[in-house]
Structure 1
Amino acid sequence: MPIALSILDQSSVVTGRGPDDAVRETLALARMADQWGYHRYWLAEHHNSSAHAGSAPEILISAIAATTRRIRVGSAGVMLPHYAALKVAEQFRVLEAIAPGRIDLGLGRAPGSDGRTAYALNPNAGTAADQFPQQIRDLQGWLGDGLPVDHPFRAVTASPAVPTKPELWILGSSDYGAQVAAFFGLPYCYAYFITDGAGSEQAMELYHQGYRPSAANPTPNGALAVFALTAATEAEAHRLFSSRALARLWRDQGRFLPLPSPEEADAYAYSTAERAHVQRLRDRALIGTPAQVRAGIEALAAAHVASEVAILSPCHSAAARAESYRLLAAEFAPEAPARLVA
């Protein structure tokens, strides 16, 4: 079965350039992805982070949707416990007015930040995550399904009234998200790049086994979000990966810092334990030539019964990141070279 190829962009901040550069690089890459034939372009949400500039995916979606022609654009995700469901519904109705039929609303339950920041975003953060299923139900109502007759806000409508509605997705990296997606009959994307596969096959199995068909989604639709990076040669791909390896090491140590360059990674004084940690990351990563990376993506998709894979490729060089995505698009769709125009 053909795999739909999409992009997940965290608007990573890199050393030597500012967060504003990261946002502009996201906008530029999205326009290229539209030409290269990618199915979706998803924007992540992070707060109080020196590593990522994408704190407001709905705004980036708006800018990208207005400057692209065919690619679907969406969130991966909006961290729903931070917000009122009505406000999210209105934001995405506006986005549907900008790009009818091309908007995705991916929903997450995790804070996308530290605990203090979660409380700054929502003073009720201590209990907000527990309301995630009810928020999804309310959001579906305000996006067109209608609220129950006894709902206290049944008389409240989400504006603007538009003829289309966004495609809802549930995102997660645990069994919980898989079960929520199955219960609501919604597409589900597992964040493989967060867990490096720990529990991923179990979560996807739970999703498929517990799936309750819905009117919009009569059958389950599972996807993976994975880290992958390619270049013209295997050696160059591994050199570029050194940035990601060091940044991931820092993340695992609780430090969320700008992405270093390969030169900075090469000069870093790794301890013996840190070198072993990085080697484990390297052993599990999808890096190499386009053919090697494609084989890895196809194997993961088959193991998880996933029809779509969203690729995350943080890279210090904006040009190298774009080239990685271009090469992957060409590898998966060599019959469409006309799309591969930077």
Structure 2
Amino acid sequence: MSNPPLRLSVLDQSVARAGRPQDESIRDTLALAQRCEEWGYERFWVSEHHGSATIVGSAPEVLMAAIAARTRRIRIGSAGVMLPHYSPYKVAEQFRVLDALAPGRIDLGVGRAPGSDHRTSLLLNPDPRAAAGFPQQVLELQAWVSGAELPADHPGHGIPALPQSATAPQLWMLGSSGYGAQLAAHYGLPYAFAYFITEGEGADQALDLYRSNFKPGLLQQPQAAVCVWALAADTEEQAWRLFASRERTRVDRNIGRLGPLLPPQQAVREYSGSEQAYVAQLRERALVGTAAQVKDKLEALAQRLQVQELVVITWTWDPAAQARSYELLAAQLRL
């Protein structure tokens, strides 16, 4: 029997673009979500970052509500809510409301990372030990979003997260290390690995941990997705020219220099010897090219990692070039 077709989804972070207003990035995300639904993508996820000079998507639950009002079919999700900052009960209420707006279409992806620097993280939650309670938070959140009862000795016993309905948000565990993989396996949750953060490092090990330790819980069988950075253009030359913006961001980040995405013509600078070695490795691993080339790379990666769904993130300075990349990939994979 042939393998099932590869499913593609989208992760958009509302990236800041040099010379463009930051609020424009939020509206670009809304427009992209509508187009991605038209092109047949499985789901559209948005991220949570705080105080970032590069990413201005700070409130995924608010952005998801706007996307829900503008779409009809595509699943909408957070990738993710940084749970240690918040009360699980409040997050459950927010996502129950989202599920009322888009019944059966809401993904609640959660992560343990701060999505910010240490000082900003403390502004969100002054308790520096908050992340240690993450496993318990996940259990509470799952009970409240699904309508299950908490134990009799729990302070939340008998208190529901409203509104109740016939459907519920789908909880996902997000991660870029073995920690999230093992927690997702222990709780029987779907798991998404952030391949784009690590440039693939640790992906095989995390997915192996998830599958080998999986216990039935929310799911009866493991369900894994991998979030990758990819860029397609009408020509290979154009794709690599557009890639210069992300390349510069990655190189600068390694030396602690953060800022908005630069247009390709301004992104080129002289690199040191160590930076040149990093760039060579970055380009070798990059999923960049024509739609046919990127399709082959995506399918090879999915086959190697044994996943049926890839979540694609694409940064370009020009929003039209970003949308064109998703359009080309959708057509190439016949979504």
Normalising by structure 1, report the TM-score: 0.95
Instruction: Determine the structure 1 residue equivalent to 2:122.
Output: 119
Following superposition, the deviation at residue 302 of structure 1 comes to 1.5
Instruction: Determine the structure 1 residue equivalent to 2:255.
Output: 253
> Where does structure 1 lack aligned partners over 5 or more consecutive residues?
337-342
Corresponding residue to 1:107 among 107, 110, 122: 110
1:251, 1:162 → 2: CA distance?
Answer: 44
1:160, 1:91 → 2: CA distance?
Answer: 9
Instruction: Determine the structure 1 residue equivalent to 2:153.
Output: 150
Pairing of 1:169-318 with structure 2 (within 5 A): 169-214=172-217, 216-266=218-268, 268-318=269-319
Q: Is the 8 A contact 1:140 1:146 kept in 2?
A: no
Judge which range, 302-311 or 91-100, deviates more: 302-311
**What SS class does the counterpart of residue 145 from structure 1 fall into?**
coil
Report the number of matched residues: 331
How big is the alpha-carbon RMSD for the aligned residues of Structure 1 and Structure 2?
1.0
1:296, 1:111 → 2: CA distance?
Answer: 31
- The percent of aligned pairs where both chains have the same amino acid is 54
2:105, 2:143 → 1: CA distance?
Answer: 20
Following superposition, the deviation at residue 157 of structure 1 comes to 1.8
Judge which range, 288-297 or 100-109, deviates more: 288-297
**What SS class does the counterpart of residue 258 from structure 1 fall into?**
coil
Corresponding residue to 1:94 among 86, 91, 97: 97
Runs (4+) off by over 4 Å = none
Instruction: Determine the structure 2 residue equivalent to 1:2.
Output: 5
1:80, 1:255 → 2: CA distance?
Answer: 27
Q: Which amino acid aligns with 1:212?
A: K
2:6, 2:187 → 1: CA distance?
Answer: 24
Judge which range, 175-184 or 216-225, deviates more: 216-225
1:242, 1:121 → 2: CA distance?
Answer: 34
**What SS class does the counterpart of residue 214 from structure 2 fall into?**
coil
Corresponding residue to 1:138 among 133, 137, 140: 140
Corresponding residue to 1:67 among 66, 70, 85: 70
2:257, 2:222 → 1: CA distance?
Answer: 37
Normalising by structure 2, report the TM-score: 0.97
Q: Which amino acid aligns with 1:81?
A: P
Following superposition, the deviation at residue 140 of structure 1 comes to 1.2
Pairing of 1:158-173 with structure 2 (within 5 A): 158-173=161-176
1:277, 1:260 → 2: CA distance?
Answer: 19
- Residue by residue over 1:235-289, the C-alpha shift from the partner in whole angstroms, topping out at 9 and shown as x without a partner, is 11000001010011112222221011100013x2323332332222111110001
